[in-house]
Amino acid sequence: MSIPLDSSSAKKMHAYHCANQCTWCDGCGDYGIWTAVKRSLVESGIAPHQVLLCYDVGCHGNTSDKLLGYRFHGLHGRVIPFAAGAKLANPKIPVLAFGGDGASFSEGVGHLVHGIRSNYPMTFVLYNNGNYGLTTGQASSLTQQGQPMNSSPNGIPEHTLNAMDFVFSLEPTFVARAWSGDIAMMTRVLKAAIAHRGFAFVDILQACPTYNYFATHEMLLERCYDANTEGHKPVDAAKARHLAMDTSKRIACGILYQCEDIPSFYERLEPRRGRRTTVAEEVEIVDTGKWERMFQ
Amino acid sequence: MFRVSLKVTGAQGQGVNSVGEMCAKGLKRAGYCLFGYREYMSLIKGGHSSFQLDVSDEQIESSETQVDILVCFNHHGLERNALEVKKGGVIIHQTPQWKFPYDVQKSLDDRGVTIVNLPSEEILQKIKAKPMLGNVLITSVVWSILGRSADDLKDLVREQFGHKGEKVLEMNFQCIHEGFDFVQGMKNEELRMKNAVQLPEPDVRWKDHLLITGSQAMGLGLLHAGCRMYCGYPMTPSSPLLSFIAEMQNETGMVIKQAEDEITAAQMMSGAMLMGTRAATGTSGGGFDLMTETLSLNAIIENPSVFVLAQRPGPATGLPTWTGQGDLLLAIGSAHGEFARCVVSVSDAQDCFDVMPDAFNIAEKYQTPVVVMTDKQIAEALYTQSSYDQKKAKLDRGLLVTDPKALKKLKSADRYDPAAKDGISPRWLPGAEAATYCAQGDEHSGDGSVDETAKNAVEQMEKRMKKMQAMEREMPEPTIFTMDSSSGKAVSCQLSAVSDIDLLVVSWGSNKGPILDVLKAESRKLKAIYLHYTYLWPMKTERLKRLMSKAKRTVLVECNHGGQLGQVIQLVGGPAIEDKILKYDGRPFFVDELCSKLIAHSS
C-alpha cells in the first residue's frame, strides 16, 4: 500500500477552509491561532490530506472541526502519545499536536515530559491561556498563585509552575513562544517548528477574555516582543532558558532555542535504519517459519 | 496416559529455570512431549521458585500436583515440596546433613521415596569449577537418572555455551562426567532409584516440535498478523511478550516502544492504528484499568485497536506472579459508554499464534477495539508445539480504502456515514489523497464534525451498535471437543456429531489444557465433552443450550471466584450452569486435581 504525497494542491489557505462556524468567545485567542496554523501549513506547502492535526480536549479542541486536514480530537491530556504513535507509524506525514495548559501541565504532564525527552519528530503547540476555559474557568498549574478562580474562591494555594523553566529542564531541542495576537509571528515559529527535526515545543500565550483577567490581550500586546529581531540567537540553551523564564517586564517571543544536531526518536530506532517504507505500509501476513529455529 | 514429572525448586536466580529448560530441550529432542510450569515470587533473588516439567509420549498441556523427581537447590524445597513426591520417586538435594522431621521421613519411607544428597560443593571444588556450574552438575544427575546418555547432554551444553570457548565447554563436560559417575557410584540402597523413574517409549513426532512459551507464541502470532508496532509498559505477566518482540526488533524491523505508562502505550497504539499500521499494546489488569479510557475513545472514533490483557489475580497488585481468570467481566464491561467490542481469549501456544491475525482482522473489519485475553499460566508455560501453519491466516483489512480512484470518490461524510451497512463505514488513512475527516472523540456527524443534536446522537449510537449485531452474527460459536477413545486424542467436532453424554464441561482460556488432558486420560470411564469458548464477546449461547440438553450434567470450570463465564452467559439470556468448579488460589488447575473434581461432579 502506498500513501501518495502530492504537494501540488497546497496553494492557498482556502484549502483548509471548513464550513463549520467558530464558536469561541468574542476576543478569544483561539481565532488567531486557528488562522496562523492554517497559514503556516499552507506556507509550508502542506496540503490538507498530507497532515495529521491532533487536538486535546479544551476550548482549543473545538478547532478540530473548524478546518480541514486529517484531524483527531482525543482525550483530555493524552494528545501527545496519540500523535507520537501516529508519527512513528508514518513519519512521512507531518504531525502537529495541540493541547491547553490544563492538559499539558496537569492531566497529561507526564506525556509532555516524555514527549520532549523522546524527541519525537512532531510539533506540539501549547494553547496557554492560564486556566481551564471549557470547564468554566478553574485554575490550571500555570494560573497565578492567589488568583481567585472557579472552584478556588480564595485564590489557589499552590504555587504557579514556571512552564518555561520546566520545559528547558527537559533538554528540549526546539522551544518557541508567540502570542495569539501576532499572526505573523505565530506563522513564522510554527513553520520553523514543523520543519524541525525532533520535538518542537511552541508556547502560544493567548487571551481568554472570559476567565483570564490577569494575562489579557492588552497585557500581552504590551509585553510581548520579538526576541529574534532584537538579536537573540536560538543556539544557547542556558541563555534561552533565562530569557524565556524572565517575564516580569517583557515577554520574549520568537524561536528561543533550537538544536538540529540531535536525532529524533525515529532516527534512533535501530530496526528502522535504512528502511524506505513506513510501518503503515508494511502490513501483510508474515511467514514466521524462519524464526521457529530458536525453539527447536 | 503415561506421564513422568520433574520439579526443580530453589531460590530465584539459582538456576532453577536453566536446569528445567535444558532438560526440556533434551527430552523434546529425544521424542517426548513436555509441558513446563513455572512458579515464582515477585522478587529477583531469593524466595522460593520452581520449574516443573511434565513428560509424556502423548500430547499433554498440564501439570500434576505430584512429581517423580524433585530437585532441591536449597533446603526450602526439602521443607516445602518433599511430600509432593510420588510413590517410588526421587528427591535430589544438595543440603549437607539434612534431616527431615520424623513424620515426613516416615511418610517418604512408606512411599519408598529415594533421597539423594548430591555433594555439589565438594565435587565442584574437586574439579575446580565455579559454583555456577552446579546447574550443569544437577542437570547431569537428573539426566542420568532418566536413563539418558551423557552425549545428548553434551550436545545441548555445546549449543548453549559453545560460544564461550573450549575451556568453558571442557569444564561443563567435566561436570557432566562427574554427575554421571555420581549416579553410577551410588550406594546399594540408592541403586533401586535407577529404576524408579522410567520414561515411556519415545515418539519421533515430537522431535520436530517447538518448545515455546505462550508469550513467545503470541509474539510470533503478532508478527504473523502483520503487526508492525508494539507499545507496552512492563507488568507481569504481559512483560515476557514485550521482552520477546523487543529482542526480535532488529530482525523484524518492528517499532517497539516501552512507554512511560499504560495510558501512553494504549494511546500510541491507537495513533499508529489510525495512521494505518497494525499495532498492539499489552498489559495486565491494573495497567488495563488505565487503558480503558482509550478503549472508549477508539470505539467512538471507530479506530481498530488491539489490547492484550494478560491476567493475574487481583484486586490491586494481588498475586503479581500467579495466574487467574478474574478479568473477564473487566474485559467485557470496562470503559465508559456503550459500544461494540470484541473479546477473545487464547488457551495455549497454538491459539496464541492463531488468534492474533484474527484479532487484527476483527479490529479492522469492525473498526473497533478488540481485547485478547491471556493469563500468567499461558504466558509463561512451556508448550510442545507443532510448527505453525503459515498459510491459514488471511489478511482482512475490512473497508480500508487505498485505491487512488476510490479515494478520489470519497466524501468527508462517508467516514462515519450512519447509513453504512452493518454500521461499518469506509476508512481511509492520513496521507491518502482524498477528502479529509476528523477522528472525533465528541459525538459527531458523518465527517467528524461535532454534532450534539438528538437526531444525530441516535443515528451514530445506532450506527456503532449495529457493528455488535454484525459481529454477533459472524463470530464463531464455541468449539466442541470430544474424546476419541480409541486413539485417546481430543478432536473438535460438530454439534450434530454429539449424542447423549454424561458430562459437559464448559470453560475458557488456559483451563483447556488440563481439561482435555483429564478427558483424554479418562475417556473410557467418562463420557464427556468439552465446550471451549475462544470468542467471549459477543457471547453466543445457542450451541451451549443445545449441548446442555444432550448432557446429563454440565459443569463450569474457571480460575476465578464468581464463575465469570457463567455470569456472561446469563447476561445475554443464556442458561445458568449451577455446577461449578472454581479455583482462585493463583494456581492453574492441575490434571490430577481436576480429574478427581470432574469425576466427583459427573455423578
- Written as one string, the DSSP assignment of A27-92 is T-THHHHHHHHHHHHHHTT--GGG-EEEE-SSGGGGGGGSS-SEEEE--TT-HHHHHHHHHHH-TT
- Residues of chain B with Cβ-Cβ distance to A89 below 8 Å are 228-229, 255, 271-273, 275-277, 279
Are the C-beta atoms of B63 and B588 separated by less than 8 Å? yes
Q: Which amino acid is at A180?
A: S
CB within 8 Å: A110 and B267: no
CATH architecture of structural domain B215-385? 3-Layer(aba) Sandwich (3.40)
Asked, as a colleague might, if the bond just before B237 is cis with ω within 30 of 0, I would say: yes
- Going from N- to C-terminal start, the domains of chain B cover 3-208, 215-385, 404-474, 479-601
How many Å apart are CA B215 and CA B349, to the nearest integer?
A: 8
Tell me whether B301 touches chain A (CB under 8 Å): yes
Q: Which residues of B touch A122 (CB under 8 A)?
A: none
Q: Which residues pair with A139 in a beta bridge?
A: A131
> What tens digit of pLDDT does each residue of A192-218 get?
999 999 999 999 999 999 999 888 999
Closest by Cβ to A65, choosing from B249, B272, B438: B438
Pick from B263, B271, B390: which is nearest to A83 by CB?
B271
Of all residues in chain B, the one with the smallest CA distance to A107 is B263
Coil/strand/helix, residue B80: helix
Instruction: Give the pLDDT of residue A40.
Output: 97
Residues B339-352 pLDDT 10s: 999 999 999 999 99
Residue A267 is predicted with a pLDDT of 98
Yes or no, beta carbons of B441 and A74 under 8 Å apart = yes
Q: How confident is the model at residue A5 (pLDDT cuts 50, 70, 90)?
A: low
The 10s digit of each residue's pLDDT in B119-161 is: 999 999 999 999 889 999 999 999 998 889 999 999 999 988 8
Q: b/e string for B27-56 if b means 16 or more Cβ within 10 A?
A: bbbbbbbbbbbbbbeeeeeeebbbbbbbbb
pTM (two decimals): 0.96
Q: Which residue has the cell 520417586?
A: B89
Residues 6+ apart with CB under 8 A from B464: B299, B300, B302, B339, B340, B368, B423
Q: In sequence order, what are the beta bridge partners of B279?
A: B229
The model's pLDDT over B31-59, given as tens digits with 9 standing for 90+, comes to: 999 999 999 988 888 889 999 999 999 99
Q: Nearest CA to CA, how far is B544 from chain A (Å)?
A: 33
Write down the mean pLDDT value for chain B. 95
pLDDT (tens digit, 9 = 90+) per residue, B372-402? 999 999 999 999 999 999 999 999 999 999 9
Assess B393–A contact: CB distance below 8 Å, yes or no.
Answer: yes
A126 membership: H or E segment, kind and range? strand A123-128
For B117-151, the three-class secondary structure string (H helix, E strand, C coil) is ECCHHHHHHHCCCCHHHHHHHHHHHHHHHCCCCHH
Cβ atoms B309, B345 nearer than 8 A: no
Region B163-184: what's the mean pLDDT?
Answer: 92
CA distance, residue A5 to nearest chain B CA (Å): 7
Note whether B215-385 and B479-601 share their fold: yes
* In chain B, residues 323-362 whose CB comes closer than 8 Å to chain A: 357
pLDDT tens profile B462-507: 999 999 999 999 999 999 999 887 777 889 999 998 888 999 999 9
Report how far residue A271's alpha carbon sits from residue B249's, in angstroms, rounded to the nearest whole number.
Answer: 6
Distance from CA of A274 to the nearest CA of B (A): 10
CA distance B388 to chain A (A): 7
Residue B573 pLDDT: 97
Note the pLDDT tens digit of each residue in A100-123: 999 999 999 999 999 999 999 999
Confidence of residue A11 (pLDDT cuts 50, 70, 90): low
- A21-295 adopts what CATH topology? Rossmann fold (3.40.50)
Q: Is the ipTM of this complex over 0.85?
A: yes
- Bridge partners of residue B371, in order along the sequence: B307, B343
- Which of A1, A285, A287 is most worth mutating to test chain B (most B CB atoms within 10 A of its CB)? A285
Sign of CA dihedral B552, B346, B66, B156: positive
Query: Quick one: pLDDT band at residue A265, thresholds 50, 70, 90?
Result: very high
Q: What is the pLDDT of residue B187?
A: 66
Beta carbons of B228 and A283 less than 8 Å apart: yes
- Chain B hits for A96, CB-CB cut-off 8 Å, are none
Indicate yes or no: CB of B254 within 8 angstroms of CB of A83. no
Judge whether B222 is closer than 8 Å to chain A, CB to CB. Answer: no
Contact A71, B437 (CB under 8 A): yes
Q: Out of 3.40.920.10, 3.40.190.10, 2.60.40.10, 1.10.1660.10, which CATH number does the structure's domain B3-208 have?
A: 3.40.920.10
List b or e across B226-240, with b for residues whose CB sees 16 or more CB atoms inside 10 angstroms: bbbbbbbbebbbbbb
**Among A97-101, A245-249, B142-146, the range of highest mean pLDDT:** A97-101
Residues in chain A closer than 8 A to B390 (CB atoms): 285, 287-289
Beta carbons of A128 and A101 less than 8 angstroms apart: yes
Nearest Cα neighbor of B76 from B46, B54, B37 is: B46
* Option in A4, A72, A279 nearest B277 (CB): A279
**Residues B220 and A288 sit within 8 Å (Cβ to Cβ):** yes
Structurally, what CATH architecture does the domain formed by B479-601 represent?
3-Layer(aba) Sandwich (3.40)
Average pLDDT over residues A153-170: 95
Question: Which residue is closest to B385 within chain A, CA to CA?
Answer: A295
